[in-house]
Chain A
Amino acid sequence: MLSKKQARAFFLGGTLVTFLIFIGLTVYSLSSSTDQTNHENLTDSVVRGKEIWESNNCMGCHTILGEGAYYAPELTKVVDRLNIKYGGNGEEVIKSILMSKTPWQPNGRKMVAYGMTEQEATDVVAFFNWIGEIDLNGFDRIVSPLAKDKINK
């Protein structure tokens, strides 16, 4: 029968081994040869876009890379989707929503009117474009049926 000492050894040993493997895999998946985070295309504009994304808690309604609050649309590949819907004017539509001083209410669900400047809206679009180029192991096609159609064409 298992003794308390053996049980403790199982706990401490198992934790140590799995944590070391976890650190190893983290280093492996973020090292330059296996990296797929699209890090090389990060521009100042993308970084500014990310800061705007965070400082307004956009994730509190939307999702991006599948993470967020499920209240408003997923924004991975959003430029692609709106390009198809609005005849190639996806970026302009997004910018007009972000710069609008009155609340945007698609299907009755309200979005805060952020009244961003042209530069801020451009940075957020740059952020969306950067997100859209990440290799997401297939999720990019699933999450965006319209983008999926475009890829299949």
Chain B
Amino acid sequence: MKYKSQKVAYWFFALSMLLLVLQIVYGFVMGFARIGFDNLHNFIPFNTARAVHTNLLVVWLLSGFMGAAYYIIPEEAQKELVSVKLAYVQLISLALVGVTAIVGYHFNYWEGRKFLEIPRPLDYLVVVNVLLFLGLILTTLFTGKRRTTTALVLSMGLLFAALLYLPGMLPFDSQVTDSFFRWWVVHLWVEGVWELIMGGILSFLLIKLTGVDREVIEKWLYVIVGLTFLSGVLGTGHHYYYIGVNKIWLVVGGIFSALEPLAFLAMALFAVNMYRKGEKKHPNKLALYWTLGSAIVSFVGAGLLGFAHTLPQTNLYTHGTLVTAMHGHLAFWGAYAMIVLAIISYALPNMTGRKLYESSRGRAAFWLSNIGMLGMTVAFGVAGVAQVYLERKFGMEFMLVQKEISIHFVVLILCATMFTTGIVLYIVDFYKHGLPTDEALEIQE
């Protein structure tokens, strides 16, 4: 750690970990409901559990991205954060808005629009919160000693993520146009600007961990985010095939979303090659595991599994089935959850001065969570494919099909238990690091 103000990142990471645990709890509520144990239905019906599960994912990832920015930007700009106090204000207000939204979901207080369930009044608070965050980050960056590509790409991703939140707040009377512009937020976030954030964090980590020249890493960063946008923006069309808009999207969405895996392939090759090229043997192997793991798993989850159902001919049958849940889980895990866990693994020893990265607990956390998530993905995939055949090909009724495939959710719960064990070990490691301290300033990274 080079700057005192970087310590604020710790609390964003801690909030992330807390929300991740809650997200997993609600995931289990849904998993058990699917195999017939929905005893909590009166307090947490499935739609509540679902909204909480997906919204907590968004909030803990955003909190992780914000923590990453508070850690990375001072170091890249070579300047203390302009105001640590305001950063804490932003953290507390983020937590308050998040908690209010989550509690509200238990009392039928929501918007009921997939992924964007936060009620409108809270939306405005999110906007204020994010503006404060961006103000702090951008002022630090533009008054700093240097403006690196890594910092610019990361900040650009955060800025565009904020701007793209706005189309989701437009009111529409038609379900079709409502859905159309909802994807401007959801798709252009996760298959667009969030990848800038991921790319920025990945680039920072690779520079630190491999010792490869910054100019080389940042050049390829541009190529990768370029490929991401080239395919991802028009790839939005894969959400428009069957929601009631023109057939032109079948062609455009089909072609460009088929190109989307290329961006993820490039990112995986880039990360692995930089690691091979690197002469620096950074002792924090755990951070390296998570960093390379993120690049590789995101290619499999977001790239390959996305491609598996993105062509219109396939999507006609898989649209609105558990096949989407299969892709969604591994994609979010690989691309975003793992990169947040990577930056935490890297930053934590630097902020606290405790180098716990040699422990077997950390490696067990990595492998258990990854193997568990892979098992969950397979369970969702088998259930999804069976659903497609039984319901869409053979015309069985939805609920009868659900009974047939419920066994796959037993497998899902078993794999989720393994995954959770990994996450618990990660959090034990987090806790064992203790609190950030100024004494860590003197320690060489």
Given contacts A60-B50, A67-B179, A107-B399, contact A4 B112 (CB under 8 A): no
**What chain A residues lie within 8 Å of B112 (beta carbons)?**
53-60
B223 nearest CB across to chain A (Å): 5
- The answer to whether A19 touches B248, judged by C-beta atoms less than 8 angstroms apart, is no
Q: Which residue of B lies closest to A41 (CB)?
A: B174
Q: Which residue of B lies closest to A143 (CB)?
A: B320
Q: Which among B47, B108, B175 is the interface contact of A131 at CB below 8 angstroms?
A: B175
| Binary CB contact string for chain B from 174 to 198 against chain A (1 if under 8 A, 0 otherwise) | 1111111000000000000000000
- The answer to the question of A88 belonging to the interface, with a C-beta cut-off of 8 Å to chain B, is no
How many angstroms between the C-alpha atoms of A21 and B233 in the bound complex? 9
- The answer to the question of A93 belonging to the interface, with a C-beta cut-off of 8 Å to chain B, is no
How many angstroms between the C-alpha atoms of A53 and B173 in the bound complex? 12
- The answer to the question of A100 belonging to the interface, with a C-beta cut-off of 8 Å to chain B, is no
B119 nearest CB across to chain A (Å): 10
| Binary CB contact string for chain B from 30 to 44 against chain A (1 if under 8 A, 0 otherwise) | 100110101001000
- The answer to the question of B84 belonging to the interface, with a C-beta cut-off of 8 Å to chain A, is no
Q: Which among B38, B244, B397 is the interface contact of A36 at CB below 8 angstroms?
A: B244
Residue among A2, A11, A106, A131 facing the most chain B CB atoms (10 A cut-off)? A11
B: contact size bracket: 35 or more
How many angstroms between the C-alpha atoms of A10 and B175 in the bound complex? 37
- The answer to whether B403 touches A110, judged by C-beta atoms less than 8 angstroms apart, is no
Q: Which residue of B lies closest to A3 (CB)?
A: B219
**What chain A residues lie within 8 Å of B244 (beta carbons)?**
36-38, 65, 134-136
- The answer to the question of B222 belonging to the interface, with a C-beta cut-off of 8 Å to chain A, is yes
**What chain B residues lie within 8 Å of A54 (beta carbons)?**
111-113
In residues 94-111 of chain A, which contact B (Cβ within 8 Å)? 103, 106-110
Given contacts A109-B402, A134-B176, contact A29 B248 (CB under 8 A): yes
Q: Which among B117, B179, B233 is the interface contact of A57 at CB below 8 angstroms?
A: B117
Given contacts A3-B219, A53-B112, A108-B36, contact A137 B175 (CB under 8 A): no
Q: Which residue of B lies closest to A7 (CB)?
A: B222
- The answer to whether A60 touches B250, judged by C-beta atoms less than 8 angstroms apart, is no
B388 nearest CB across to chain A (Å): 10
Q: Which residue of A lies closest to B153 (CB)?
A: A11
**What chain B residues lie within 8 Å of A135 (beta carbons)?**
244
How many angstroms between the C-alpha atoms of A137 and B242 in the bound complex? 6
Q: Which residue of A lies closest to B239 (CB)?
A: A67
- The answer to whether A143 touches B392, judged by C-beta atoms less than 8 angstroms apart, is yes
Q: Which among A8, A37, A58, A146 is the interface contact of B176 at CB below 8 angstroms?
A: A37
- The answer to the question of B391 belonging to the interface, with a C-beta cut-off of 8 Å to chain A, is yes
- The answer to the question of A86 belonging to the interface, with a C-beta cut-off of 8 Å to chain B, is no
- The answer to whether A38 touches B233, judged by C-beta atoms less than 8 angstroms apart, is no
| Binary CB contact string for chain B from 314 to 340 against chain A (1 if under 8 A, 0 otherwise) | 001101111011000000000000000
- The answer to the question of B110 belonging to the interface, with a C-beta cut-off of 8 Å to chain A, is yes
- The answer to the question of B395 belonging to the interface, with a C-beta cut-off of 8 Å to chain A, is yes
A2 nearest CB across to chain B (Å): 7
| Binary CB contact string for chain A from 25 to 42 against chain B (1 if under 8 A, 0 otherwise) | 110111000111111001
- The answer to whether B230 touches A18, judged by C-beta atoms less than 8 angstroms apart, is yes
List residues of chain A with CB under 8 Å of any chain B CB: 2-4, 7-8, 10-11, 14-15, 18-19, 21-22, 25-26, 28-30, 34-39, 42, 46-47, 50, 53-61, 63-74, 103, 106-110, 112, 127, 131, 134-139, 142-143, 145-146, 148-149
Known: A4-B218, A15-B233. 13 other contacts (CB 8 A): A3-B219, A10-B223, A18-B233, A37-B245, A38-B244, A57-B105, A65-B242, A69-B50, A70-B322, A109-B38, A110-B38, A142-B392, A145-B391
* 6 chain-A/chain-B pairs, Cβ below 8 angstroms: A7-B222, A25-B237, A25-B248, A65-B243, A107-B402, A110-B38
List residues of chain B with CB under 8 Å of any chain A CB: 30, 33-34, 36, 38, 41, 45-48, 50-51, 105, 108, 110-114, 117, 149, 173-180, 215, 218-220, 222-223, 225-227, 229-230, 233-234, 236-237, 240-250, 252, 256, 316-317, 319-322, 324-325, 391-392, 394-400, 402-403
